[in-house]
Amino acid sequence: MSNEPLPSVEEFQRFFLDEYEQYSQEIERTDEVPAELLKRVADIGAYRLTIPKELGGWDLALPDYLPYVEAAAMGPGSGRMLVHLANGIWRPLAWYGSPAQRELARKSGTGEICVAFALTERTGGTGRDLHTRAVRDGDAWRLSGEKHLVTWGPRADVFIISAMTGERRASDALTTFLVPKDANGLQIDPTQRTMGLFGSGHAYLDFENMIVPDSDRLGEIGQGLEVALSFLDYSRISLSMCMVGLAQRALDEAVAFARRRTTFGKAIVERDVIRAQLADMQVDVRAARALVREIGALPVSSPNYRAAACTAKLHGLRMVGRVTDTALKVHGGFGYTKDAVIERIYRDARGFWFEEGTQEIQQLVISRALLGES
């Protein structure tokens, strides 16, 4: 592990709100995070907050990590995407990987490499309904299929790709592979544009009979669903705190705007209707933060841990929707222009609807746990 001291949450927040924020217009224009900024994010140690010490990280437990990701989420969406993904993606590598694959977790923590997670398909549903298939061919596998919405796909060095190796819908239907970006037969199309979260880059992947050596399998044959889900619970809790951070920023922007905007001779912050809206936003943000903290402090072995993570996510995505709706309205028509930071925040917030599962999927998991179903 590096001897550098862990930055404080305040330093982290300053970095994302000041230094990273200064790049916002460039990122919005180019839809890329400049290389020097990616390096700065690595330099402050943002990729390795939760990575175990033996793999070069600071090994922060979830409750200690959450304030950092909340701080990162107050800046442009690509910043929190960097922190959130790197502090989750090491888990399948470290937990299921061979010694060589575990080393990728170390490199991801220093920012030397970028690892992307490729599960979602245009052709199939997520999980056991995938259409990407892997067929054994001697010491290797032939992978055929497609993926999309792969965050950081355009700059990723390695992809974690899930493929069907068994019977559709069986619990052991999936196997996971680590595929380098230069694998023969892998086509990466970096042109998938999103509504917000500019700079984080999304890619389509296409491959037909792509040969992947068996040594690049991550985990056992049939263990793919477990590998793919292994970090989802932590990740949903981390994502929920990102929603809190972004909602807090939206509230701060609404307060600042309400103070400076004067109509009919009075700052709008003096109007009771505006004050009531600010108060409602404050209640929403604080309640969501308290919920994420409570769930983030649960031991992983707690009953229905997955449903608890989904509870934070479901509540968080509704909360950030309400808060960014109201914050935009408080800004009046100015908020709808590209001159207003709330315009970017509003778009960035909508990604939360889908990342790591929609509202309907969270409801499904929560209701099954509630009813005692597996």
Binding site for ligand FAD (CB under 6 A): 117-120, 125-126, 149-151, 194, 197, 351, 354-358, 360-361, 364
Q: Which is nearer to ligand FAD, 194 or 238 (CB)?
A: 194
- Strands 186-192 and 202-213, bridge-based pairing: antiparallel
120 vs 144 by CB, closer to ligand FAD: 120
**In this complex, which beta carbon is closest to ligand FAD, that of residue 298 or of residue 361?**
361
Phi-psi region of 209 (alpha: psi -120 to 50; beta: other; left: phi over 0): left
CA 225, 49, 159, 120 dihedral sign is positive
Q: Given the complex with ligand FAD, which of 306 and 329 has the nearer CB atom?
A: 306
Of 95 and 354, nearer to ligand FAD (C-beta) is 354
From the CB of 119, what's the least distance to ligand FAD, in Å?
3
Q: Please, which residues have CB within 8 angstroms of residue 358's CB and are 6 or more apart in sequence?
A: none
Q: How far is CA 194 from the centre of its chain?
A: 14
Q: What is the DSSP letter of 156?
A: -
Residue 277: CB minimum distance to ligand FAD, A: 27
Closest C-alpha to 72, from 84, 87, 62: 84
Q: Classify the phi-psi angles of 326: left when phi > 0, otherwise alpha if psi is within -120 to 50, otherwise beta.
A: alpha
Residue 119 or residue 327: which is nearer to ligand FAD going by CB?
119
Q: Are 115 and 156 in contact (CB under 8 A)?
A: yes
Encoding tokens for residue 173? 């239907």
Minimum CB separation from ligand FAD for residue 87, in Å? 14
Tell the residue number behind the tokens 């709808």, with chain if given: 336
CB of 355 vs ligand FAD, minimal distance in Å: 5
**To the nearest whole angstrom, how small is the minimum distance from the Cβ of residue 18 to ligand FAD?**
25
Tell me the one-letter amino acid at 69: V
Q: Is 239 helix (H, G, I), strand (E, B) or coil?
A: helix
- Residues, the chain: 374
Residue closer to ligand FAD by CB (options 210, 258) is 210
User: Closest distance between ligand FAD and the C-beta of residue 88, in Å?
Assistant: 10
Shortest gap between Cβ of 194 and ligand FAD (angstroms)? 6
Cα(237)–Cα(38) distance, integer angstroms: 24
User: Rounded distance, CA 12 to CA 75, Å?
Assistant: 11
